[in-house]
Structure 1
């Protein structure tokens, strides 16, 4: 059964430079209107239970598409059919009033979603408990921190059991512990067979959560298909345009461990046992070691550790993770652990490379902590081999099947 059905749906906006241009257009019959197309006509069918990721650069039309499906925008052309109850997280707390209390805004948020007060009364305790704001519900939300505001908004928006859930860059909100709770709730919706539309710039999350990805650019559908294939094509597209690469600093982010979270406590990168921030590597002759110490909530399953090696332009050359290699990090009773990753005789060819390290939840979806550019690898090589890596290979020689010298004598 189809949950979302779009037939030639498009959205454009009309504007005039000056108010007098409207009158001029009426009198002269000459158009003065300016039209901007946010979404070109698009036909799209999303079956029940499918998790669809929507990717693209800023201004690609992602939010426009989600708002059209959610019903907060009216299409300029085409027809939209949505079957089932929709919960949309387009802008967290968009329906909140800053001068009203948290309690009042819970009921206000429910009314925005079309729920009666009696239903919100039933959901109220669950919303407050999920948001963890029991002692703040009678205070005006303008006194809330940004994290508290986001937690309450997310709790209200997802308290209903929707058939279709729409997420626009709002999958992970609040602090580390609450971010995990939000991921768990979304994962629960996925397991329950709900239809989810997820827009994000985080391609790792998109590929991990979704079973279909749509790539939009300048309001047009570029690609629609299997997540790994679409995201790979999108990354190649990004490589062709100018991108700003942050320096990252190479520092482990400092924050105290709180319930439901984890953090990196130490990252050490070494070449042939010698640790440092700037390391000299010889192609095929140096062992690269990456030691990672961490701590996480011992009440949670063991986290995953991932390592990515980037080239000088900031693009991933290779990666490794405990989840992909089916390794479960060991921890003590306090949730502390240490893992070491080794790349024997590192096969990278000459150039400069960077090492990034990540600590993720047991599903490798939510990122607890990250340490970016913790070490620079300065690789030198012998010979004239070109490319990024040197691959194992063998040469062999065989005698020709025919003796061409005898053939020439016979002639």
Structure 2
């Protein structure tokens, strides 16, 4: 039996579209009765169209019926050799069909999203209200991230995620906050409290095997959860101080200077953005980037960590996952550490331009193996290469990661 690939999940695909939505598709096959196989983004489906069409051409469609058969009205067709010009005409067609303002901001939005989504007037108006007057590509990618993760298209979420999308990370403002506090002659209680949190981080024992977990707690990713648990508990707990809690205190304290409040608000948005990243539209997978404050030579530095793998409960499956650390070290400079875990067996690769990195790693291998065994992990290999993989670097530097994780499935 010949089962056509486009027949699989046809009803589910049709149900994702709504009447009057506009979408762009390429004709891959023409069928009898004015039906066609159409590639729409990553989807392939059968629809009935209201005019003659040609294989290989792009068309702008409007949904007229979203039940089987899906009926599409052809707004415009284009030959594949005149791609950019036809795209601009399609953008103009969307504007006129939906009676939207014909300005540069709206045109750029439509041009970006037309190849990825079915567009509705309400969607475009919502995104238009969220974006600045001159949206950057990273602004648009932030919206794309929100759509992929099914995060509501609302201003608080966008503002929290925007610093991550732009690569401007608020944790770097920690140093600025401390510098401003040190310059202020009259230290408010919230300012003294914030300095205490930083001092805890600086004096944290770096050799402790659970120090990353401690730093995650000090960052404040579980701040609201801890507050809720404390509220519901009969026995009130003393909550651990965190950067988020410290930033909130700075913002709410009337005695905090306005310059420090601005920096604290930026820090708060970044931490909240990292919390929002934990939201995943996929119930089985987790993929995110976190930035952690890290004590180094008596100061607070930052490290970026990319996490990828299957979900287990509310977190990542610690038996099978991938972790990439991006470090900027005083002597070794830029360094990537790529960790793969399969069935609690680790392969670790250190990427760095330092000439003697392999020799340095060798002296730590036995100690690392011993520490991992105590945690019921097995070190399979510890290697070093003298260049940094640009693909891995992009993953850990892209603070709103794209959903490209592939899961192994045993049948």
Above 0.5 in TM-score? no
In the superposition, the TM-score normalised over structure 2's length comes to 0.23
In the superposition, the TM-score normalised over structure 1's length comes to 0.23
The higher relative CO (CA closer than 8 Å, separation ≥ 6) is in 1
Structure ranking higher in strand proportion: 1
